[in-house]
Amino acid sequence: MADWNPSAYAAFADLRLRPALDLIAHVPDLPAGGIADLGCGAGAVGPALRARWPGRRLTGIDASPAMLAGARATRAYDALAEADLAAWAPDRPPALIVANAALNWVPDHAALLPALAGRLAPGGVLAAQVPGQHDAPSHRMLREVAAGIAPGRIGAMARPFVLDPRAYARILAPLGAADLWETTYLQRLGPASGHPVAAFTAATAMRPVLAALSPDEAARFTARYEAAMEEAYPREADGSVLFPFRRIFLILKVPPCPS
């Protein structure tokens, strides 16, 4: 895929930031150590992390050079690193790993979550939220429309990496004290040049689909997807739409060192 487009992603900045703020508000007391913003993107969560834990070393990690340039501009981070999220390993075990809408891009959560827990300092915390939207029309139709245009060419989109919350509970149970919940945000998306939901997904979930299609296929995909969104999410009188968006939250506190 082409690199991320920070300005397109930021078009719905407030809606994308709210789950992150809800997540970090639930983080319990931390041991000594730094904070890793895993999948930091353009650094939207950095100022909030800095405000809550002002004395901690804050490191942002992302695989996108364009997003890291945006994170650098926030001046919230002490350090930034370009890395594959699945392979990242810290120089020192952090007190907190935050992953806001990032782990959904990484496969095999049954292996990933224990690996991240093992990178924490004793008593440290893993706090993550992922979209739980894969069965909603907004995301299901990405796969179905693309499959009708280019069968067999949508790769990982055919099976999202995100698991059921009960599966996460079972994965986390042996690792420490876990807290899991889900929230559906009823988002109002303002009028857009196309359908507002298509504008919302274009910067994120639609990216791997478009990357698998030729320009002609992409044009046909966009027209069919827009039509599907008009039916699934009808417009309000002012041209906006009400867009329910489900997110899954998990917080894991690993055991401290034995006293």
Would the pLDDT of 181 be above 60?
Answer: yes
Domain-embedded: residue 259: no
Q: Which of 45, 26, 22 is nearest to 179 (CA)?
A: 26
**pLDDT of 28 higher than 50:** yes
Assign 6 a pLDDT band (cuts: 50, 70, 90): low
**Residue 145 placed within a domain:** yes
**Is residue 245 in some structural domain?**
yes
Q: What does the alpha-carbon distance between residue 231 and residue 225 come to, in Å, rounded to a whole number?
A: 10
Tens digits of residue pLDDT in 93-149: 999 999 999 999 999 999 999 999 999 999 999 999 999 999 999 999 999 999 899
- Whether residue 50 is contained in a domain is answered as yes
Asked if residue 1 is part of any domain, the answer here is no
Beta bridge mates, 14? none
State whether residue 97 is helix, strand or coil: strand
Which pLDDT score, from 0 to 100, does residue 259 have? 53
Task: Give me the CATH number covering residue 203.
Answer: 3.40.50.150
The pLDDT > 90 percentage for the chain reads: 80
Residue 72 within any structural domain of the chain: yes
| Domain-located, residue 193 | yes
Could you give the number of structural domains in the chain? 1
**Mean pLDDT along residues 189-202:** 89
In a domain? residue 258: no
Residues in CB range of 233: below 8 A, 6 or more apart: 137, 138, 195, 196, 197, 241, 242, 243
Split at pLDDT 50, 70, 90, the class of 193 is confident
pLDDT of residue 155: 59
pTM of this structure: 0.91
Host domain of residue 164: 6-253
